[in-house]
Structure 1
Amino acid sequence: MRKASLALGLTGVLLAGGLAGCGDGERQEPAQQPAAKGPVTVEWWGWAPGYDKAAAAWNAGHPNIQVKFTQVESGGKGGYQKMLSAVKAGNAPCLAQVGVETLASFLVEGALEDITPYAKESAAKFQPWALNSVTFGGRQVGVPVDAGPMGLIYRKDVFDKHKIAVPTTWEEFAAAAQKLHEADPKAFLASFNPDDMYGFSGLAWQAGASWFSTSGDSWKVSITDEATTKVANYWQGLLDKKLVEVKPAWSDAWFKAFNDGEVASLVSAVWMTKVLEESVPKSKGKWAVAPMPDWVAGQTVTGNVGGSPNAVLKGCKNPKEAVEFATWMSTDRGAFDDLVVNGGLFPTTTDGASLPSIAKGRPFYGDQPIFQVFAKAATTVAPTFAWGPTTPAVNDAFNTEVGKVVTKGGTLLDALKAVQAKAVTSIKDKGLSVTE
């Protein structure tokens, strides 16, 4: 996410969030609170696999800062609403797992603490684009944890059977889709998911999109920018030729298609590799991973989907200790190596590619060390993409409008124009200034 000069504090929203500007726009850095005297307990809410083990490992070696981890429902299934309600009630945990796509939404709700004084010494340990994703107006509101660099996850057995070369460009991807479907009319190279805005955003991210940005005191919405239009038209072409299957993401039918080889690939984030291992176990050993196809041969740019920083919620009495733990979990080699093994998480640190677990082969993927592919991809993630302050509303609009296109007709670009309009309205409804 691009660092935004959020002069939007002038709206009063960021005043509530503690990130308001002063004077001529220079921002006052909040005073760093002294370390607590005596043992403290940092409450932490999240849902990622392996987090409980990370808390236990920390607690064993840090008797003066104990972390109490509570597993909650994932954000979209109620976790975020529980966090926001706790902030309003004054009983929120100090630390919470908040996806990068949702941080701005929490910010405009006044739910985040400025952790810049406690986090600045560790800034150089993270990939610049990952650090930018938790930074607004030069102020850091979260500690990066995992990332979702994208790649091509494919059924090697299906590709081999039909003598399909692994596509390195999107042009080759379209040709492979046609070749496979002609060879087997029941088979498709990919599935298009009308209810997966986040997956689509990763494709747009790679192409150079920047859906949200700020200019002066206003948010700018650009969901129909040139890069996104290119991506929409590309997939529209595949849909028109019926070269991709249409299925809801995460549905039983979707996973069955992968398991049966009916759908032979997906372009997705690194964390999807773990999901497939658990969801389609009968296809173990038949999968492989390659880099995400490029738009221009030899010009590698990668998209990203997901990543859940640990944010310090408003009202935390021990922000220094909360950031100390969060930074340790994200940067300690042993701690994060365990998260790779136990949860399939992918590091955002500059040295993450050298973790022992990154070099290990995974049996589900024919013992290919697949994380090495994503490690290289993480160094080429485009730095320009940004999320806005009303992501849930935009997601709902995407699901509704794109769903209409695949069931009733129209084009993806038509749908995105409607999403653009609803995104603008949703920001205005928050009392924020917005332009297109």
Structure 2
Amino acid sequence: MSTIRTRAVAGAAAALSLSLVLSACGGGDGSDSAAKTTKGDVKLEFWSWTDGIEAQVGVWNKAHPETQVKFVNAAGDTVYQKLRAAVTSGNAPCLSKMDGMNLANFAADGLLTDISEVAAPYKSRYTAPAWNAVSPGGATYGIPTGSSPLFTAYRADLFQKYGIKAPKTWQDLIDAGKAVQKKDKGVKIYNMAGEDPSTLVDLSWEAGAQWYKLAGDHWEIGFTSPEALKAGDVVQQLVDNDLASNASYADPGVFKTWDLGHTIAMTTSTWQLPIYDTNFPKSKGEWQLADSPAFDPAKPQTSSNFDVTAVLKGCKYPDRAAQFAAWLSSSKESLTALTDPKSKSGLFPAVKDVSPYVDKIIPAEMFNGKSDSAQVITTAASRVGDQWQYGPNYAAMYSEMQKQWGQVMKKEITVKEMLTHLQDWVLADLKSKGVKAVAAG
């Protein structure tokens, strides 16, 4: 199961205007306020929907009387629409939780504050891919919060039964799937839901593709690059050979396909482990972790989602906002609490050294103990490819891809046809918005 989802440039002297790169009408609040040091006591509003965060805001407030943070639980499917409306009306919070693609989208639409200067002192705490997620096009609009590096979970008992080993490459996974099919047509090696194209995102990232790449004053769009097509070919083989189940992540019974042994492997991440511990009662203790399959075993890399804390347009105290956000996601005090399963946050740090936080997130009874689960997770965190960028219309592109993905799963179109369509669609959409973009060479 891929991570479940229902799922720009600052300084005219250094580069072209942000508005040329992100959007025709401007890409954020680049005012001098972002570089000022705030004096005196201030109050910040912070929207989030992560369990455990509110308690940490309380811890911060007790220790920092000069910067008081008001927590607002913004849970709900319409949170991004509410944030947009709040910015437009001038009532936006200073800070809000987001994912990487929505941060890029908000930046492109001029709804965030460029905090490049005040955020710079915190950059060294985080991994390069995590910083990329808050810096679409170069300018920084927030602070990384958490990561979701991808690795493999598989039914060790059934792998042994079918005489297959944990796949080291994606071709290994395909070959293993074919071997299983020869012995039992009812068992699949993988799952790809009809509503969730995240498998292709992950594979493209791992293959070294760059769907979006900033190049000077324009974006290069690479949905049909050799790396992207290599990733697409793996998906196509899974589809053509009927190697994947199609359990929907919207179905409450989705976990049964793995728990009952109908699907015997998945790519997954840290925040999902406690979910499996609860929802895999029959197979508990039969699972094992392994590195995510690689395209090039000599240079293995994986992918990750990133949660971020964005600084919205109109924030009067961006330096204090950045200070709080960095404390929340990089201080030992905060991370020790948030990575504790008791917090129910599901947070896995985006910092460079994750070793202090790995052991306790691994459900003790979930895995058979024959592999080093902590090492697998630590390795995954270090292998996230740093080439991936979220472009200015990534969120809209993802919605378009979802429409096409269902057709791919039904064998109505090929993955290559979908990627070709997305290439044309993204270029046309960016052109319509006045954003300079060309097909990658």
- Does the alignment reach a TM-score above 0.5? yes
Matched, 1:435 2:434: no
State the secondary structure of the residue aligned to 1:101.
Answer: helix
Residue 405 of structure 2: aligned partner: 402
Residue 266 of structure 2: aligned partner: 266
Instruction: Name the CA shift for 1:268/1:227 in 2 (closer, same or farther; >3 Å).
Output: farther
Deviation at 1:371, TM superposition (A): 4.3
Deviation at 1:66, TM superposition (A): 2.1
Give the aligned residue type for 1:262. Answer: H
Matched, 1:326 2:325: yes
Deviation at 1:7, TM superposition (A): 4.1
Residue 20 of structure 2: aligned partner: 10
Residue 63 of structure 2: aligned partner: 61
Give the aligned residue type for 1:150. Answer: L
Residue correspondence of structure 1 range 99-110 to structure 2 within 5 A: 99-110=99-110
Structure 2 unaligned residues grouped into runs of 5+ = 1-7
CA contact (8 A) 2:358 2:377 kept: no
Report the more deviating stretch, 195-204 or 349-358.
349-358
Matched, 1:243 2:262: no
CA contact (8 A) 1:13 1:109 kept: no
Residue correspondence of structure 1 range 3-402 to structure 2 within 5 A: 7-10=17-20, 13=24, 15=26, 17-19=28-30, 32-38=35-41, 40-73=42-75, 77-304=77-304, 306-341=305-340, 342=343, 343-355=345-357, 357=359, 362-366=364-368, 370-402=373-405
Count of residue pairs the alignment pairs up: 423
State the secondary structure of the residue aligned to 1:362.
Answer: coil
Deviation at 1:197, TM superposition (A): 2.8
Deviation at 1:80, TM superposition (A): 1.3
Instruction: Name the CA shift for 1:170/1:405 in 2 (closer, same or farther; >3 Å).
Output: closer
Instruction: Name the CA shift for 1:278/1:95 in 2 (closer, same or farther; >3 Å).
Output: farther
Deviation at 1:361, TM superposition (A): 5.6
Pairwise CA RMSD of aligned residues? 2.5
Give the aligned residue type for 1:231. Answer: A
CA contact (8 A) 1:86 1:92 kept: yes
Give the aligned residue type for 1:269. Answer: S
Give the aligned residue type for 1:322. Answer: A
TM-score by length of 2: 0.88
CA offset digits 1:195-249 (Å, max 9, x no partner): 2233321111010010012233322221222111111112211221112223333
TM-score by length of 1: 0.89
For 1:163 and 1:3, the matched residues in 2 are separated by 52
Residue 3 of structure 2: aligned partner: none
For 2:429 and 2:316, the matched residues in 1 are separated by 33
Deviation at 1:257, TM superposition (A): 0.8
State the secondary structure of the residue aligned to 1:252.
Answer: coil
For 1:159 and 1:109, the matched residues in 2 are separated by 48
Give the aligned residue type for 2:111. Answer: A
Deviation at 1:289, TM superposition (A): 1.4
State the secondary structure of the residue aligned to 2:410.
Answer: helix
Deviation at 1:256, TM superposition (A): 2.2
Deviation at 1:50, TM superposition (A): 2.1
For 1:99 and 1:277, the matched residues in 2 are separated by 25
Deviation at 1:318, TM superposition (A): 2.1
Deviation at 1:8, TM superposition (A): 4.4
For 2:350 and 2:293, the matched residues in 1 are separated by 22
For 2:137 and 2:419, the matched residues in 1 are separated by 28
Instruction: Name the CA shift for 1:361/1:405 in 2 (closer, same or farther; >3 Å).
Output: closer
Matched, 1:416 2:426: no
Instruction: Name the CA shift for 1:409/1:73 in 2 (closer, same or farther; >3 Å).
Output: same
Deviation at 1:57, TM superposition (A): 2.2
CA offset digits 1:332-386 (Å, max 9, x no partner): 1131122222323211111222337458663323467634322212212111111
CA contact (8 A) 1:424 1:434 kept: yes
Residue 5 of structure 2: aligned partner: none
Structure 1 unaligned residues grouped into runs of 5+ = 20-27
For 2:282 and 2:118, the matched residues in 1 are separated by 47
CA contact (8 A) 2:197 2:405 kept: no
For 1:208 and 1:276, the matched residues in 2 are separated by 29
For 1:65 and 1:283, the matched residues in 2 are separated by 48
